[in-house]
Chain A
Amino acid sequence: MIEFSSVEFQHPNGVIALKGIDLTIRSGDVISIVGENGAGKTSLIKHINGLLKPTKGSVSVFGVDTRKESVSALSRNIGIVFQNPSHQLFSESVEDEIRFGMINFGFEEELVAKRLNWALTLFDLERYRTISPMLLSGGEKKRLCFASVLSWDPKVVILDEPTSGQDFLQKENLMNVIKILSSQGKTVIIVTHDIEFIWPLQPRIVVMAGGQIVKDGSAENVLNDEDVLKRARLLKPHLLSLTEGLVVKPREQFSDVYDAKKWLVKTLRG
């Protein structure tokens, strides 16, 4: 359980990044934080593992006040995959890069080996095991970052712009990973501009603008609110627009393109 109570955060240069944030994230939630650049999304997630401490109010993670705990202690339960992979890759090999977090958290050697193999397989990185992370492509580097964070099995996984630099297939794989994490009862927080990506996941959506939460609700509820979309400079997902344009409406919203295709083919053929 993550709880923000009247959180305000002011940068040292005086810029207020967050104000009046009240937010509760329950264990097992899949939640997406959306909003334009500078809306305060990254500042919000940095409060969860204590990288930023609130200027006013408090943030509690699994009952612990983040102001009273170190980043490394909080990070054992909170894994953040940052937007830019080149900001974290430094090891000599892909496997060393994945081991890094587990070693820092003092995992037993056997467990490190087991989790390393699991992460390499999950993200299709086995063949790169011994090569330098610097030689990987942009998409592969991103997958390596996911693998290195998921390796220590955090209870909460935070993905900052996970789809940037990913092609369609990689996005589908990522979607499957998120579904697996969700089915394992993990809390998944996705910070993104990519509304098309999150729509099939049907997460709870928190919309931010000007350092404040302007809307918090189900995907359908939030993404049908034209005012909120305008304020957060977002576009409605194509599948939602498609449904609106249809004379004969499907019984339920299309969850993804395959679902839409199936329904359209069936309906058009009568």
Chain B
Amino acid sequence: MQWISQGFVFRHTKSRFHDLDPRVKLLVSVELFILSLLVSSIPKVSIALTGVLIVSFSAKILGRISRSLLYTLMFSIFIFVINLLVGYSPLDSLVIATRFLTIVGSTSIFFLTTPPDELELVMKWFRLPRDLVFAFVTAVRFVPVMMLDALQIMDAQKSRGLELQKGNPYSRLRRFIPVLIPLIVDAVIRSGELAEAMESRAYGAVRNPTSIFRLELKQRDYLLSAVSIVLSVSSVYAFMFVL
């Protein structure tokens, strides 16, 4: 579980991709996401997936993204089976299932390479409401905390004789109730405490609070944005008219 969780949370890594402006990272992610939505055959999905893997490799997150994709593979298999059952051909089902993997991979790139602080700056740049930005960024920040809590709760319940790995899928799911309830209750209590602490430190006192950090595009950001746009447009053209 801990191994899987590493595939979803941001961790400081030294790479040129990490150093880019968060808006450029978002642009690359969105481009890959759009490409993933457009794929409809094995060659196209292979190109999109290769794109995700190349970007992940350059951002030194290939190992971590592979973990998240491995976890997503379960849902992907489910999608494959469902599509087969509703009458799609095995090849089409495979494309749809793989497309899901590519979509998850493309969005993971942004979240795995962007710290919550930068995420907040990007959302503010889009002029989203402050409360919404704060709620979203706080939720992202608390993902690793919740993961840690979940592991500790599982340890506590296993120590009371709970066997999470035994039985059929339904009974396994039921056995997770003693893990889920403390996790949810803890999250609710924590959110209440956080709200009180924020209010006690004057959150919401003024309409436009001081903004200390600003986003600034550098030469490399412009360069990479241009390259990625050219590649994406070419790929979309190829998807629509060549392949």
A and B are interacting partners: yes
Q: Give A residues with C-beta under 8 Å from B.
A: 12-13, 46, 49, 51, 70-72, 75-76, 78-80, 82, 84, 86-90, 100-101, 104-105, 134, 148-149, 152
Residues in chain A near residue B186, CB distance under 8 A: 86-87
Whether the Cβ atoms of A86 and B161 lie closer than 8 Å is no
Residues in chain A near residue B117, CB distance under 8 A: none
Residues in chain A near residue B162, CB distance under 8 A: 72, 100, 104
Whether the Cβ atoms of A76 and B161 lie closer than 8 Å is yes
Q: Which 6 A-B pairs have the closest CB atoms?
A: A104-B161, A90-B181, A88-B156, A101-B160, A71-B158, A80-B159
Name the distance in Å between A61's Cβ and chain B's nearest Cβ. 13
Whether the Cβ atoms of B182 and A88 lie closer than 8 Å is yes
Whether the Cβ atoms of A12 and B3 lie closer than 8 Å is yes
Known: A90-B178, A134-B185. Contact between A82 and B158, CB under 8 A? no
Which of under 10, 10 to 19, 20 to 34, or 35 or more describes the interface residues of B? 20 to 34
Bound complex: CA A202 to CA B185 (Å): 38
Within 8 A of A (CB), among B64-119: none
Closest to A90 in B: B181
Bound complex: CA A127 to CA B145 (Å): 35
Whether the Cβ atoms of B161 and A82 lie closer than 8 Å is no
Across the interface, A88 reaches (CB within 8 A) one of B2, B3, B160, namely B160
Residues in chain B near residue A89, CB distance under 8 A: 182, 185
The reply on B221 being an interface residue by CB < 8 A is: no
Residues in chain A near residue B157, CB distance under 8 A: 88
| Majority SS at the chain B contact face | helix
Bound complex: CA A104 to CA B181 (Å): 18
Stretch at the interface among B16-24, B40-48, B134-142, B147-155: B147-155
Q: Give B residues with C-beta under 8 Å from A.
A: 2-3, 6, 149, 152-153, 155-163, 177-178, 181-182, 185-186, 189
Closest to B175 in A: A104
Across the interface, B156 reaches (CB within 8 A) one of A13, A76, A82, A104, namely A82
Closest to A84 in B: B152
Listed residue (B153, B155, B159) with the most chain A CB atoms within 10 angstroms of its CB:
B159
Whether the Cβ atoms of A13 and B6 lie closer than 8 Å is yes
Across the interface, B158 reaches (CB within 8 A) one of A75, A79, A100, A134, namely A75
Name the distance in Å between A205's Cβ and chain B's nearest Cβ. 24
Residues in chain B near residue A46, CB distance under 8 A: 155
Residues in chain A near residue B153, CB distance under 8 A: 87-88
Bound complex: CA A105 to CA B162 (Å): 9
Known: A87-B182, A100-B178. Contact between A51 and B158, CB under 8 A? yes
Whether the Cβ atoms of B149 and A87 lie closer than 8 Å is yes
Residues in chain A near residue B177, CB distance under 8 A: 90
Whether the Cβ atoms of B182 and A90 lie closer than 8 Å is yes
Whether the Cβ atoms of A86 and B159 lie closer than 8 Å is no
Other 16 A-B pairs with CB < 8 A, given A87-B156, A88-B157, A89-B185: A13-B6, A49-B159, A72-B158, A75-B159, A75-B160, A79-B159, A80-B159, A87-B149, A88-B160, A90-B177, A100-B178, A101-B161, A104-B160, A104-B162, A134-B185, A148-B160
Bound complex: CA A159 to CA B177 (Å): 25
Residues in chain A near residue B2, CB distance under 8 A: 12
Residues in chain B near residue A100, CB distance under 8 A: 160, 162, 178
Name the distance in Å between B92's Cβ and chain A's nearest Cβ. 38
Bound complex: CA A134 to CA B161 (Å): 21
Residues in chain A near residue B6, CB distance under 8 A: 12-13
Whether the Cβ atoms of B3 and A71 lie closer than 8 Å is no
Known: A104-B160, A104-B162, A149-B160. Contact between A51 and B155, CB under 8 A? yes
Bound complex: CA A38 to CA B182 (Å): 25
Bound complex: CA A13 to CA B5 (Å): 12
Bound complex: CA A78 to CA B158 (Å): 11
Name the distance in Å between B230's Cβ and chain A's nearest Cβ. 38
